[in-house]
Structure 1
Amino acid sequence: MPTIDIDENRENRIKTEILVDAEDKEERAMGWYYYLDDTLDFPFMGKWKKKNRKTGAIDEKLVEVLGMAPEDDCLKDMYVEVGYIGGKDDDIHTAKLSEIEAIDVDEETQQALEDWQYWLGRAYKF
């Protein structure tokens, strides 16, 4: 059940820019992947908010969002690669894009992130 009301501007952008000519799940996933990869201004700062499996509490970590995860990892959901602030250079993790809250990003990046949250909130599927 959708938790977000229809936004005609976003619906139009999704149909005409993101999913144009996409006919199956894989093409829809790749439409989103390339839209996000092209539109998000990497790297950017963010909070990685994920649910703690043991306590159910939401853990927040300050991260640098480095880029999209490999295409093959994004066929069912959108993932990004992140590094902890103050962590080791080789300490890179994969996070669901939906778990990232951007900090002080440009308008295009914010819009693309909101487009993805909208897609999820409307309970759309690839």
Structure 2
Amino acid sequence: MPSVERDEKREHRIETEIIVDTDNDKEERAMGWYYYLDDTLNVPFMAKWKKKSRKSSEVEEKQVEVLGMAPDDECLKDMYLEVVYPEGNDEDVFSVKLSELEAIDADSETQEAIADWHYWLARGYKF
């Protein structure tokens, strides 16, 4: 059962801009999302990375700078972004799931795209 109510405006955007012409093909849907996010996220921006600790059920929050989408071949099952810790350098870049990120200082277009992805997951949709 979906954990959020249906949002017709968001559903329309998903159907007409993101997964349009994908014919229920998993890889095409994944790439629809990938290119939508790649085109819409205005990077870099700061975000909170919320991840569950392996040792406990606690959620750790760390601030990261989002640099962009991970390579498309890494995004066939989930959407990943490349991030770095604020004081990090090019060698410190790593990928995190978009579902684990909350934008801190992103523009409205970026925040809407992230909210679209979170909505998609909360509704229980899959590629």
TM-score (ref. length: structure 2):
0.97
The 5 Å alignment of 1:51-90 reads: 51-90=52-91
CA distance in 1, matches of 2:14, 2:73: 21
Equivalence for 1:7: 7
CA distance in 2, matches of 1:18, 1:88: 33
Q: Which amino acid aligns with 1:37?
A: D
Equivalence for 2:41: 40
- Point out the more displaced range, 79-88 or 35-44: 79-88
Q: Percent identity?
A: 67
Are 2:94 and 1:93 equivalent residues in the alignment? Answer: yes
CA distance in 1, matches of 2:13, 2:89: 38
TM-score (ref. length: structure 1):
0.97
Equivalence for 2:114: 113
Question: Where do 4+ consecutive residues of structure 1 move more than 2 Å?
Answer: none
1:62-106 deviation line (CA, Å, top 9, x unaligned): 100000000000000000000011124311111000101101211
Gaps of 5+ in 2: none
Q: SS in structure 2 opposite 1:54?
A: coil
Gaps of 5+ in 1: none
The 5 Å alignment of 1:17-32 reads: 17-23=17-23, 24-32=25-33
1:27-48 deviation line (CA, Å, top 9, x unaligned): 0000000000000001110011
CA distance in 2, matches of 1:105, 1:48: 14
CA distance in 1, matches of 2:119, 2:59: 21
Q: Which amino acid aligns with 1:5?
A: E
CA distance in 1, matches of 2:88, 2:58: 23
